[in-house]
Amino acid sequence: MKRILLALLIGLTALSCDSTPEGYAINGELTGEVADGTSVFLKIIDSTTNQPVAIDTAKILDGKFKFAGTAGLPEMHYIFVDKIGAYSAIVIENGEISFKAQKDSLGFAKISGTSQNEIFGDFMNKSQGIQQQAASIQGDMQNAKAINDLATMNALKEEFDELQEEYKNFELDWIKNNPSALISALLIDKALASRQMTAVEVRDLYDALNPEIKETKAGKRVLVRIEEAEKKAEAEKSTDIGAMAPNFSAPGPDGNEIALADIKGKLTLIDFWAAWCKPCRAENPNVVDVYKKYHDKGLNIIGVSLDRKGEDWKKAIADDNLTWNQVSHLSYFNDPIAKLYNVDAIPAAFLLDENGVIVAKNLRGGALEAKVAKLLQ
């Protein structure tokens, strides 16, 4: 009896071991006119160059191809077909993975067979459904625009805006409901990169992820970016509205140092810009008008250029008739003043009162003049 039980236990153990895949196999099927011998590439995104790099190649025979290997933690990969511009994302994890697609619509591939790909496939189906609705609305908007049907255009715009909000909530809900999905980590990364959510909000979503997902490359990348965003958010407190503006000095066009403390007026605008920045140059005429109207009443401006070349900077000052103080280290976004004020995009502006307290940020157009007029009444 003991021998029978022992044999049974050994058999169960063997079955248990056999049920755990030792590697992955992608069984691919591509419909459409694809010649035998066409190359199919399995790629990853290189962390240094952010470009796809092939890690394996297969050949199509009778519309089918196969990849095999051993995977660690689940990671997103991409399938490219030679001479076809599109590609399809796929999660590589140990197990049998089925990949079926039409050659002209790789992005709509049907991927199944392993848990992460089942979840990913479900996400893509629902996501693409919303995107197709958006495309339909945009097409209707173009038709309405062609016949100048303003009422229909406005109604469709409202519908489109509602759909955009629906999609944002869809992704947020997906992350919350699927903490063990690799796609959830990727969606958190996207939300952080696009600034759809604050570092605090993203941190809460990350903390709820399954430990295995946190250990993936995507999970680790998200954590690094969250920590960077948290540091940035903490640093930005020094330039929040109500904070005392940090003092600085830098060379002017003639090489002489100009300090913020020496040029403050009743109101002082710190204007971050550059000759190469088209939105900045487009805004400059408005800033010139505001300066002309309110300089005698107490408005001073100091421009901080993020240019690289002195000649470009000086030419733009002359061309745009910028008659106020200008400074630059000619260091692009490595400019120490930009770092001091946490500026990572331009145009950017900080309006200070007579005590050097920040009273407004990033006002442009009529909003800038309205604020200046109100404060100098």
Weakly modelled stretches of the chain, pLDDT under 70: 1-21
Which pLDDT score is estimated for 18?
Answer: 43
- Bridge partners, residue 302, by sequence: 270, 325
- Residue in this structure with the two tokens 């010139």, named with its chain if needed: 288
Quote the CATH superfamily of domain 249-375. Glutaredoxin (3.40.30.10)
**Amino acid of residue 157:** K
| Model pLDDT for residues 295-324, shown as the tens digit of each residue | 999 999 999 999 999 999 999 999 999 999
Flag whether the pTM goes above 0.75.
no
What gap in Å lies between CA 250 and CA 334, rounded to an integer?
A: 14
**C-alpha dihedral (259, 265, 266, 268), degrees to nearest 10:** -60
The ranges assigned to domains in the chain are 21-113, 118-237, 249-375
What gap in Å lies between CA 75 and CA 33, rounded to an integer?
A: 30
Which pLDDT score is estimated for 95?
Answer: 95
Q: Which CATH number fits domain 21-113: 3.40.190.10, 2.60.40.1120, 1.20.1290.10, 1.10.3720.10?
A: 2.60.40.1120
| Model pLDDT for residues 30-59, shown as the tens digit of each residue | 999 889 999 999 999 988 888 999 999 999
- By C-alpha distance, which of 226, 235, 182 is closest to 202? 226
